[in-house]
């Protein structure tokens, strides 16, 4: 198992950028698919982005494609989410999650471990 701790959230104006980090403890980080999800008030949790164990394969929700970039550094046990051109509709709590899968999965039920979440607020 891995334990996940997110950081990097905050308040930003529309059009701005933020980078989220998710630090994982545990020796098997590199064997996990890592994903980012978000949940806005009154809405269900939704998939944002994911990367496979090597970082060479990624997948994005259509709503963030071209604006967000997921990456990982297995030597540092960390996964990142670079968010550019932020919009007010990106406002949500962002969660890092880990799945014991070889291929990328986008459904939250496949993810075994979750961080506590970090708030991202985009003002208009």
DSSP assignment of 34-60: EEEEEE-TTS--EEEEEE-TTSS-EEE
Compute the distance between CA of residue 18 and CA of residue 85 in angstroms, rounded to an integer. Answer: 9
Per-residue pLDDT of the chain (124 residues; tens, 9 = 90+): 889 999 999 999 999 999 999 999 977 888 899 999 999 999 999 999 999 999 999 999 999 999 999 999 999 999 999 999 999 999 999 999 999 999 999 999 999 999 999 999 999 9
Compute the distance between CA of residue 25 and CA of residue 113 in angstroms, rounded to an integer. Answer: 11
Q: Would you give the DSSP letter of residue 62?
A: T
CA 52 to chain centre: 13
Compute the distance between CA of residue 22 and CA of residue 36 in angstroms, rounded to an integer. Answer: 9
Which residues are 24's β-sheet partners? 4
């Amino acid at each position: 198992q891995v334990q996940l701790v997110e950081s990097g959230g905050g308040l930003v104006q529309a059009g701005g950028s933020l980078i989220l980090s998710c630090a994982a403890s545990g020796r098997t980080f590199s064997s996990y698919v890592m994903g980012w999800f978000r949940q806005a008030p009154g809405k269900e949790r939704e998939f944002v982005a994911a990367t496979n164990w090597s970082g060479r394969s990624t997948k994005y929700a259509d709503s963030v494609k071209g604006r967000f970039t997921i990456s990982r550094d297995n030597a540092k046990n960390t996964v990142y989410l670079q968010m550019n051109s932020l919009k007010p509709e990106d406002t949500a709590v962002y969660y890092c999650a880990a799945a014991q899968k070889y291929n990328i999965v986008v459904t939250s039920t496949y993810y075994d471990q979750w961080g506590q979440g970090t708030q991202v607020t985009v003002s208009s």
